[in-house]
């Protein structure tokens, strides 16, 4: 039992000393001075920019073009929010319904116009002139 306790304590000391030693060492830079890389995305209307390494770290992304809006502008056929989907959450069937309603009301209007003229067809009146 004592031996197991001593072994456990030794292992903990070794692991703790290794962790402290690793913290004391300076981490290498994540990039080389002057190095360049692409940043951002080129999905939809977005365009990638370029980041430059300065003092071992990547600094701001220049030339990056972000999304036009958080939601897509419906019906333009473009991915405005750069998520890879075009016109999501839009209702294309809505335009069909509106066109159908427009045709329906034009038909009703023509019907009542004909009824108001004694049932004569409007196009016949135009043909007589």
Query: pLDDT tens digit string along 16-56?
Result: 655 444 444 556 668 888 899 999 899 989 999 999 999 88
Convert 11-25 to b/e letters by CB count within 10 Å (16 or more is b). eeeeeeeeeeeeeee
Q: Per-residue pLDDT tens for 56-101?
A: 888 888 999 988 888 888 878 889 889 998 888 777 666 678 788 8
Domain boundaries, the chain: 91-124
Res 111: pLDDT: 82
The overall pTM is greater than 0.75: no
């Amino acid at each position: 039992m004592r031996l197991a306790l001593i072994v456990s304590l030794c292992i903990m000391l070794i692991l703790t000393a290794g962790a402290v030693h690793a913290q004391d060492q300076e981490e290498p830079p994540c990039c080389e001075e002057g190095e360049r890389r692409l940043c951002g995305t080129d999905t939809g209307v977005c365009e990638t920019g370029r980041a430059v390494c300065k003092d071992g770290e990547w600094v701001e992304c220049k030339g990056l073009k972000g999304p036009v809006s958080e939601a897509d502008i419906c019906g333009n056929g473009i991915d405005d929010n750069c998520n890879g989907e075009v016109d999501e959450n839009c209702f294309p069937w809505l335009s069909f319904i509106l066109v159908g309603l427009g045709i329906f009301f034009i038909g009703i209007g023509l019907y009542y116009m004909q009824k108001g003229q004694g049932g004569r067809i409007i196009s016949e009146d135009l043909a007589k002139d």
